[in-house]
């Protein structure tokens, strides 16, 4: 399968980078084709300009390339830290600009845009791997875990991806080396469960 | 009072711009000091670079200016469309870069960063005005309205802003001219209720 791996973290030495490397290595070992987008390394511009609001916009070649990569993926793995209950802006804007009407979803004929969209992505599974410095109980009770709704309900369900799995690694800031090794092993297990050796 | 108004929408002709203008005019008529940030017009860069991850980072003068504006505000009004259950990336990144530890919140002495932060903002009220093309029932039942959690729980509560009000204007795409005039009148009412003539 062709699997798109998207990473959004500014620090090359971060645990997010270690997770993304582990994802790519596991997919490769399982004989999948990996397309890896390190949005910070790419210098991706997340600010959607006014002309792109139009459904018929002529796209910047960079955005066109990202749209095609997204459309071609059989599976998607997203890696990012939890910043204010959202992905980092570079990834929020990747969604804003790349998950376009007519490419990732469409409205049914005759609908003016307020209706229920139909998902267009071919990907059958999306996995979101997050890091956080907030304890689970506090995340659920105090913050309400908006990332779960954003990725599962707002993005993946809407774009027609039927299988969704999310794993939050926490608490990063106080974790030991051994804990992180365990988390990378857990990452290998999740990836191999959804994308087994073919 | 000094009131910070933040707008995030790429199209000058958008209803979001009309809302923001109405907010500023109402505050001005009520004799408040308005600081207006049109993030698109400013060309704000929402991508947090690696050096800014450090709590002791030397800040870019633009970010330093935004931090000071945020800290000095007695009240905050945010205007943006609902994109994928999030603010547009330019505003998500404004939070990432400007709501800094030691400025907008702090961790208690001896805490390593995983604890419960203490809000530092002087603002006593935050108002979030959103636009959406999704019906209310669908927003609540299908998407779970992550914007409410992001703004109220993750940002405003955490940074110590005690009063929070959010209003979603919907459905924009099918709204009539008369409906929009009504919504702007409603905007005036909300602003005057929280920031009355002094």
* Cross-chain residue pair A47–B53, CB shorter than 8 Å: no
Q: Is A154 on the interface with B (CB under 8 A)?
A: yes
> What local confidence, expressed as pLDDT, does residue B30 receive?
98
Q: Is A108 on the interface with B (CB under 8 A)?
A: no
> What local confidence, expressed as pLDDT, does residue A110 receive?
67
Q: What is the DSSP letter of B45?
A: -
Residues of chain B with Cβ-Cβ distance to A116 below 8 Å are 138
Task: Out of A62-71, A135-144, A180-189, pick the least confident.
Answer: A135-144
Query: How many degrees, rounded to 5, is the angle at CA A183 between CA A180 and CA A188?
Result: 130
Which residue of A90, A149, A171 is in closest CB contact with B85? A149
> What local confidence, expressed as pLDDT, does residue A107 receive?
84
> What local confidence, expressed as pLDDT, does residue B198 receive?
77
Average pLDDT, chain A: 95
Mean pLDDT of the A76-84 span: 98
Closest chain B C-alpha to A38 CA, distance in angstroms:
14
Choosing among B146, B147, B170, B179, which should be mutated to test the A contact, i.e. which has the most A CBs within 10 A? B146
Q: Is B41 on the interface with A (CB under 8 A)?
A: no
Strands of chain A (E only): list them: 2-7, 33-38, 75-81, 105-107, 117-119, 125-132, 163-170
Mean pLDDT of the A165-187 span: 97
Nearest to A82 by CA among B135, B183, B86, B197: B86
Mean pLDDT of the A180-188 span: 98
Determine the 3-state secondary structure of B145 from DSSP: coil
> What local confidence, expressed as pLDDT, does residue A108 receive?
79
The reply to whether ipTM tops 0.90 is yes
> What local confidence, expressed as pLDDT, does residue B70 receive?
98
Q: Is B104 on the interface with A (CB under 8 A)?
A: no
Residues of chain B with Cβ-Cβ distance to A135 below 8 Å are 114
> What local confidence, expressed as pLDDT, does residue A112 receive?
67
Q: Is B10 on the interface with A (CB under 8 A)?
A: yes
Query: How many degrees, rounded to 5, is the angle at CA A150 between CA B125 and CA A114?
Result: 90
> What local confidence, expressed as pLDDT, does residue A116 receive?
78
Express the helix, strand and coil content of chain A in percent, nearest 5 each: 40, 20, 35
Average pLDDT, chain B: 95
Could you tell me the pLDDT band of residue A109, with boundaries at 50, 70 and 90?
Answer: low
> What local confidence, expressed as pLDDT, does residue B195 receive?
98
Write out pLDDT tens, residues B12-67: 999 999 999 999 999 999 999 999 999 999 999 999 999 999 999 999 999 999 99
Distance separating alpha carbons of residues A28 and A44, to the nearest angstrom: 25
> What local confidence, expressed as pLDDT, does residue A45 receive?
98
> What local confidence, expressed as pLDDT, does residue A78 receive?
98
Q: Is the pLDDT of residue B84 over 90?
A: yes
Q: Is the pLDDT of residue A114 over 70?
A: no
Q: Is the pLDDT of residue B113 over 80?
A: no
Which residue of A85, A89, A150 is in closest CB contact with B93? A89
CATH class for the domain made up of A2-194: alpha beta
Task: Out of A64-68, A109-113, A169-173, pick the least confident.
Answer: A109-113
Closest chain A C-alpha to B172 CA, distance in angstroms:
8
Residues of chain A with Cβ-Cβ distance to B52 below 8 Å are 10
Residues of chain A with Cβ-Cβ distance to B88 below 8 Å are 47-48, 92-93, 96
Residues of chain A with Cβ-Cβ distance to B12 below 8 Å are 50
Write out pLDDT tens, residues A11-53: 999 999 999 999 999 999 999 999 999 999 999 999 999 999 9
Q: Is B146 on the interface with A (CB under 8 A)?
A: yes
Which residue of B12, B154, B174 is in closest CB contact with A143? B154
> What local confidence, expressed as pLDDT, does residue B49 receive?
98
Could you tell me the pLDDT band of residue A198, with boundaries at 50, 70 and 90?
Answer: confident
Report the share of chain A in percent with pLDDT over 70: 96
Name the residue of chain B whose CA is nearest to A175's CA.
Answer: B114
> What local confidence, expressed as pLDDT, does residue B114 receive?
62
Structure tokens at B1: 């009072």
């Amino acid at each position: 399968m062709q699997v798109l791996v998207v990473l959004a973290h500014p620090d090359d030495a971060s645990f997010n980078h270690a997770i993304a490397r582990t994802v790519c290595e596991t997919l490769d070992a399982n004989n999948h084709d990996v397309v890896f987008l390190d949005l910070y390394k790419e210098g991706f511009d997340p600010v959607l300009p006014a002309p792109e609001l139009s459904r018929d916009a002529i796209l910047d070649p960079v955005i066109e390339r990202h749209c095609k990569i997204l459309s071609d993926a059989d599976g998607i793995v997203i890696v990012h830290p939890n910043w204010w209950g959202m992905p980092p802006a570079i990834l929020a804007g990747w969604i804003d600009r790349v998950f376009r009407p007519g490419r990732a979803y469409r409205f049914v004929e005759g609908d003016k845009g307020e209706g229920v969209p139909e998902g267009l992505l071919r990907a059958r599974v999306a996995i979101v791997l997050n890091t956080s410095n907030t304890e689970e109980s506090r995340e659920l009770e105090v913050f309400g875990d908006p990332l779960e709704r954003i990725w599962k309900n707002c993005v993946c369900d809407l774009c027609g991806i039927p299988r969704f799995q999310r794993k939050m690694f926490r608490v990063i800031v106080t974790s030991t080396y051994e804990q992180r090794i365990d988390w990378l092993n857990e990452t290998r297990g999740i990836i191999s469960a959804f994308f087994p050796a073919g």
